[in-house]
Amino acid sequence: MSDDESLSLDQYKLKESTMWTQRKRSQQLGISGGGGGSGVGQSSTSTNNYDDMFGLEHMENYSIETTALHRKLQSKMEALRILRKELEKFRTERDQFKLMAETLQLRYAALRRNSSFSDLASDVSMGMANGGGKTNVAKILHESRERNIKLTTEVEALKQKLYEVQGDIEVLRNQKSTAEAKKDSTRNGKGNNNKEDVVLDSCSKEVLLQWKQERSNFICHLEQLKKKNAQLAFDLKAVIDEKEELTNERDAYKCKAHRLNHELQVALKAKETHPKFLDIDSIILENKYLNERLKHIESEVDLPKQAVSKYKVLGHSLKT
């Protein structure tokens, strides 16, 4: 209802109240005058007729205005009902889009996992299907850590060997320099020393060839170890990424379970009766425990049945 309509209603109410007060005053004056003349009686009857006509017109206008306001109110209620329907429709569409977005995210994560780490994903999926996904991932991580530790120890040992070989090279260089100095000093007229120098040169050449061969082998071994270390680092990074994805999926499923639990509590009004009326996780775990217990009991029941069947066969064979 607008301000102009409220003002018009107030004005009509004021007019009506003033009219009724005037009518009452005129009636009181007519009663107090008694039968005091025909002119006075005619004037009072004319005023009463005028008041009745004006009151009827006022009531008709008031009823018309009330019907118009009632129609406006009904139209506004219809508009509000339409808006509520549209709001519910938009809410349902929003929920559908949320579900679609969540499914797309899960599909994208699965595709990325399958495209980048197909072998690891297959192993983890098989482990999860068998109920040991976490243990499988932990086992892979443990093995990769052990390999990394072994490789680090091998690298340290090879570094120590490299330092030793470098020390041997320095010793050989010193020996070579001293031999060359002796050769230069004894070159002027000493034939015996020439033979010794030849022997030293041949020995030094053999040592140098052996050292070059060992150095080439050592370099090849170091390159292989570097490749293995890089591969293991890549595998470790892949396993860590896979673990992070699995933890994210686990957290997402936990959030979904929590939201579903909350929605069920709200839907069933569980908070009014008990704050923890429903717990999906506990129900699922209890269901798994009961299924395992049922299987165990069935296996225990099968054992005496088999024993009874064996005894029946033995008794039948003894009778025959």
Whole-angstrom distance, CA of residue 146 vs CA of residue 142: 6
The total number of structural domains that make up the chain: 3
Q: In the prediction, which pLDDT does 294 show?
A: 92
pLDDT surpasses 50 at 121: no
Mean pLDDT score across all residues of the chain: 72
**Domain-terminating residue out of 253, 270, 287:** 270
Task: Give all strands (DSSP E) within the chain, no chain letters.
Answer: none
Whole-angstrom distance, CA of residue 32 vs CA of residue 35: 9
Q: Are 138 and 239 in contact (CB under 8 A)?
A: no
Share of the chain above pLDDT 90, in %: 2
Do 294 and 252 have their domain in common?
no
Q: Band the pLDDT of 149: cuts 50, 70, 90.
A: confident
pLDDT surpasses 60 at 243: yes
Q: What is the mean pLDDT of residues 84-110?
A: 82
Q: What is the mean pLDDT of residues 40-60?
A: 58
Q: Are 237 and 138 in contact (CB under 8 A)?
A: no
Whole-angstrom distance, CA of residue 283 vs CA of residue 19: 76
**Secondary structure element (H or E) that encloses residue 19, with its range:** helix 3-33
Highest mean pLDDT: which range of 117-121, 147-151, 282-286, 312-316: 312-316
- The one-character DSSP state at 36 is -
Q: Which domain holds residue 223?
A: 157-270
Residue 113 lies in a domain: no
Do 164 and 244 have their domain in common?
yes
Q: In the prediction, which pLDDT does 39 show?
A: 44
Q: In the prediction, which pLDDT does 36 show?
A: 46
Q: Band the pLDDT of 11: cuts 50, 70, 90.
A: low
Length of the chain: 320
Whole-angstrom distance, CA of residue 106 vs CA of residue 99: 11
Q: What is the pLDDT of residues 180-239, one digit of tens each?
A: 777 766 665 555 555 555 555 666 777 777 777 787 788 778 888 888 888 888 888 888
Identify which has the larger pLDDT, 85 or 105. Answer: 85
Identify which has the larger pLDDT, 46 or 304. Answer: 304
Residue 67 lies in a domain: yes
Residue 194 lies in a domain: yes
What are the percentages of helix, strand and coil residues in the chain, rounded to 5? 95, 0, 5
Task: Annotate 118-145 with three-state secondary structure.
Answer: HHHHHHHHHHHHCCCHHHHHHHHHHHHH
Residue 119 lies in a domain: no
